[in-house]
Structure 1
Amino acid sequence: MAYNDFTLKQLQKQFNLKIEDQVDLFTNINPVSPTKLLQTIIEENLPLAIAISTEKARSELLIMPILLEVRRQLNKTISLFSGTEFNVDPSQGLNGYCDFILTLSPQQITINSPIITIIEAKNENIKSGLGQCASAMIAAQLFNQQENNLIPTLYGSVTTGTDWKFLTLEENRLKIDRLDYYINDLNKIIGILIHAIKSSSLAE
């Protein structure tokens, strides 16, 4: 078993996960304006990503530039991993590859203090990626506990590149934001990602 095998129902049983899915997690988060560089990249890439409409195209043309923007705005104090194996506890199925991981450490060689896991939605279906994302968040939580990283809240997102759904995990409580955020509200997406990292940095 691996991250992409989990459903939310399986996670509820195996990890005693408590799920809330009708909460507004980030309505009060301040938006952050993208740089002119990102605006130009998205303007050029968006029509192409939609036309190609594959996970690989959306990942390279939309998701990665947005995550690089977050890293840029935080002065490269975080690290970004893409398509990385993240085996935390295979005996519990907490193993496999994560599409993207953001960590609080600037070290790029190995994963340290993961805080945000991001999963690409298969067939542009956000709901289908929630179990995979939540299981990777549980793995990140366990990893941080093993490393004595005092990070109380883990964040996650399932995204098509144009549509972003955010989640949080505190202890065994998984909250799924009621709202989706779309790429035409890019400043809100960036604001949420930066808020997640900054709030976690303060908790360390």
Structure 2
Amino acid sequence: MEIARNTESKINVEYAIEVDGRLIGSLDYLIRLKQELIVIEAKKGDLDKGFNQLSAELIALDKYEEGNENDRLYGAITVGDIWKFGVLERKRQHITKDIDSFTIPGDLERVFSILIGILVA
């Protein structure tokens, strides 16, 4: 919520999307400003499986918003105190996973900086 206050962005919680019979679900958090950012909470603390889920959600949102002019969709996976980021390059249909992980509270400033940077880019 602090990110929303600082950037005046819009946050949707449990944002439901239905692309087709196979791509149906809800995004934990969808944050919108100049860019869009999906944030999901990894189930059972498993960041690897969580990133697979994030990838599927990035692809689903891309298809759901066909015609969106942003070249990229951004995503984050978290277990609360650990954060990882990824990006979908829409034209190439290529997902990149950041190799770095960030911890809270140690990297709090860095995580906030990344989140704000994505949204106002």
Whether the TM-score (by the shorter chain) exceeds 0.5 is yes
- Please say if residues 115 and 140 of structure 1, whose CA atoms lie closer than 8 Å, have aligned partners that are also in contact: no
Alpha-carbon distance in structure 1 between the residues aligned to 2:64 and 2:2: 26
Alpha-carbon distance in structure 2 between the residues aligned to 1:123 and 1:102: 23
Q: Which runs of 5+ in 2 are unaligned?
A: none
SS in 1 for 2:80: coil
Q: Which runs of 5+ in 1 are unaligned?
A: 1-67, 106-113, 200-204
1:99-134 superposed Cα distances (whole Å, 9 cap, x missing partner): 1111228xxxxxxxx711111111111111111111
Q: TM-score, normalised by structure 1?
A: 0.54
2:32 alignment partner in structure 1: 103
Q: Which has the higher strand share?
A: 2
Alignment of 1:49-198 (within 5 A): 68-74=1-7, 76=8, 78-87=9-18, 89-91=19-21, 93-104=22-33, 115-145=36-66, 148-171=67-90, 172-183=93-104, 184-198=106-120
Aligned residues: 118
> Structure 1 residue 144: deviation in Å?
2.8
Amino-acid identity (%): 27
Alpha-carbon distance in structure 2 between the residues aligned to 1:195 and 1:158: 17
1:153-182 superposed Cα distances (whole Å, 9 cap, x missing partner): 110111001000100010311000001011
- Please say if residues 124 and 160 of structure 1, whose CA atoms lie closer than 8 Å, have aligned partners that are also in contact: yes
- Please say if residues 144 and 151 of structure 1, whose CA atoms lie closer than 8 Å, have aligned partners that are also in contact: no
Alpha-carbon distance in structure 1 between the residues aligned to 2:68 and 2:28: 22
Q: TM-score, normalised by structure 2?
A: 0.89
> Structure 1 residue 84: deviation in Å?
2.5
CA RMSD of aligned residues (A): 1.5
Larger Rg: 1
- Please say if residues 17 and 64 of structure 2, whose CA atoms lie closer than 8 Å, have aligned partners that are also in contact: no
